[in-house]
C-alpha cells in the first residue's frame, strides 16, 4: 500500500483513533482494525476490510508517481539524520487547525479512506488528469484564481529558466468525488482497472457522501498539499505545480489568506527553478539534503515576493509571507522528508527578503545559480541549533 503522501508525520496520528477520540502528538500510524463502537458506519468498515484483503498490488504507475511526489510538506519517510534536542520546535497554528478539522471526521470514515487510498486520490487525479486550462479555478470557491494565475505568469518572466512548458493545476477534492466514475478513474491509477477498482470507488464514494464532515470531498484533509512536479513526458505530464484547496483553506484559517497561498506558489515555483538548474544535487544526504532544498525554495520565494521586479511586497505584507513558511515548518527530525523547523523556515524566508532589500541595484534580478550559491554559504547559520 502506498505511504500516505498527503499527511505529515505530525498529523497522520489523527488516523489512530480510539474510544476517546483523536490521539494527538503520537507517532504516525495507519489503523489496521476498527471497532463498531467507534464508528457510525460499521457495515462500510466491514466492506473495506473485505476489500482490503483482495486489493491488487499497487500499480507501477502509482509507485512511480508516489516516488516522485512523496517528498512533499506532508510526507513521512522514516530515517534519522538530525538531533531534535538541538532545536526549538513545536506545533504551529496550521497544524492545530488541521487537527481540529480531522477531529470532526468519524473514525470509520478515516479508516476506510486510509486503507483504500481515498486520501491520495485528489493528488494523483490533479497530477495525471489536470491541465493548465484558462478555466481552472484556485481555492475552494475560486477565491485565489486571479492572484495565483497572475503570480504564476509573473514568475515565469522573473526567473532565468525556460518555463514555457510549466503549468499550474488546482486540486479539488470534491471534483474527484463528484461521481463514482470520476472516483474510479483515480482509483485505477492506484490499482489498475477491473472489478476491484470499481468496488473500491463505489465504497469510497459512499463514505465521502455519507459522512457529513467530509463535505462530499471538500474537507481540507483531501487537498492539504501543494507540490512541484518535474514532468514525465512519456506519460504526457508536463512540468507542473499542483495547488490544493485544503492548504489554502488552512492559510485562511490562521489569518494568512491574503499572502499565504501566494507564498506557497512562489515556494513551489522555486522548486521548478531548482529542477531546471540541478540545485537538488549536493553533498548532503537524508533529512539534511531535503531541508536544504526546502529552505532554499523558501528563500527563493521571498526573494521574488519582495523584489522590486517581483511582487514588491511592502513591510506590511512581507511578515505574513514569512510567517506562512513558519507555519509549514515541521518537527519530523527522524524523516528524510524533514523540511526544516518553523524557526529555520522563517529565518530562510527572512534571508531571501533581506537579499532583495539590500541589493545595490534594486532593479537587478540575480541569476538563480548565484542566489543559490549565496544561500548555501548562509545555510549553516540558518540551520544553527536554537534550543534554549
pLDDT at site 269: 97
**CA–CA distance, 81 with 53 (Å, rounded to integer):** 36
Considering 286-295, 320-329, 359-368, 378-387, the range whose residues carry the highest mean pLDDT is: 359-368
Tell me which residue has cell 522563517. Answer: 346
Note the pLDDT tens digit of each residue in 135-182. 999 999 999 999 999 999 999 999 999 999 999 999 999 999 999 999
Mean of pLDDT values over 365-381: 96
Alpha carbon 222 to chain centroid, angstroms:
10
The set of cell numbers assigned to 69 is: 511526489
Mean of pLDDT values over 231-244: 91
- CA diameter of the chain: 67
**Stretch (H or E) spanning 182:** helix 180-191
Note the pLDDT tens digit of each residue in 311-322. 998 766 666 666
Q: Give 20's pLDDT tier (boundaries 50, 70, 90).
A: very low
Angstrom distances, CA of residue 48 to CA of 15, 170, 198, 280? 15, 29, 13, 40
**Stretch (H or E) spanning 289:** helix 286-306
Q: Which residues contact 195 (CB under 8 A, 6 or more apart)?
A: none
Note the pLDDT tens digit of each residue in 294-337. 899 999 999 999 999 999 987 666 666 666 765 666 666 665 55
**CA–CA distance, 323 with 345 (Å, rounded to integer):** 9
Q: What is the pTM of this model?
A: 0.85
Residue 62: other Cβ atoms inside 10 A? 20
What is the chain's mean pLDDT, rounded? 81
Amino acid at each position: 500500500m502506498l505511504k500516505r503522501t498527503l499527511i505529515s508525520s505530525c498529523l497522520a496520528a489523527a488516523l489512530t483513533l480510539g474510544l476517546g477520540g483523536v490521539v494527538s502528538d503520537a507517532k504516525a500510524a495507519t489503523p489496521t482494525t476498527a471497532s463498531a463502537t467507534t464508528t457510525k458506519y460499521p457495515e462500510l468498515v466491514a466492506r473495506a476490510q473485505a476489500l482490503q484483503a483482495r486489493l491488487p498490488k499497487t500499480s507501477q504507475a502509482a509507485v512511480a508517481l508516489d516516488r516522485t511526489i512523496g517528498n512533499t510538506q506532508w510526507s513521512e519517510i522514516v530515517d534519522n539524520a538530525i538531533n531534535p534536542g538541538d532545536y526549538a520546535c513545536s506545533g504551529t497554528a496550521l497544524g492545530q487547525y488541521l487537527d481540529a478539522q480531522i477531529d470532526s471526521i468519524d473514525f470509520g470514515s478515516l479508516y476506510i479512506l486510509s486503507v483504500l487510498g481515498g486520501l491520495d486520490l485528489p493528488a494523483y487525479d490533479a497530477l495525471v488528469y489536470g491541465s493548465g486550462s484558462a478555466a481552472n479555478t484556485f481555492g475552494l470557491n475560486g477565491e485565489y484564481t486571479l492572484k495565483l494565475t497572475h503570480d504564476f505568469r509573473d514568475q515565469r518572466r522573473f526567473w532565468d529558466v525556460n518555463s514555457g512548458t510549466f503549468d499550474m493545476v488546482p486540486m479539488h477534492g470534491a471534483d474527484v468525488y463528484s461521481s463514482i466514475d470520476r472516483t474510479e478513474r483515480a482509483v485505477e491509477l492506484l490499482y489498475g482497472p477491473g472489478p476491484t477498482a470499481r468496488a473500491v470507488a463505489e465504497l469510497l464514494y459512499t463514505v465521502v457522501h455519507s459522512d457529513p464532515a467530509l463535505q462530499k470531498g471538500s474537507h481540507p484533509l483531501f487537498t492539504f498539499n501543494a507540490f512541484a512536479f518535474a514532468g514525465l513526458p512519456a506519460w504526457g505530464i508536463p512540468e507542473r505545480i499542483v495547488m490544493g484547496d485544503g492548504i489554502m483553506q488552512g492559510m485562511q484559517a490562521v489569518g494568512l489568506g491574503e499572502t499565504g497561498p501566494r507564498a506557497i506558489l512562489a515556494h513551489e515555483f522555486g522548486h521548478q527553478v531548482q529542477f531546471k538548474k540541478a540545485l537538488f544535487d549536493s553533498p548532503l544526504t537524508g533529512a539534511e539534503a531535503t531541508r536544504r532544498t526546502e529552505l532554499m525554495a523558501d528563500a527563493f520565494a521571498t526573494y521574488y515576493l519582495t523584489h522590486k521586479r517581483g511582487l514588491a511586497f511592502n513591510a506590511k505584507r512581507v511578515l505574513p509571507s514569512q510567517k506562512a513558511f513558519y507555519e509549514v515548518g515541521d518537527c519530523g527530525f527522524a524523516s528524510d522528508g524533514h523540511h526544516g523547523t518553523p524557526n529555520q523556515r522563517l529565518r530562510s524566508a527572512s534571508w531571501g527578503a533581506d537579499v532583495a532589500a539590500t541589493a545595490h541595484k534594486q532593479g537587478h534580478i540575480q541569476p538563480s545559480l548565484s542566489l543559490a550559491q549565496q544561500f548555501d554559504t548562509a545555510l549553516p547559520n540558518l540551520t544553527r541549533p536554537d534550543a534554549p
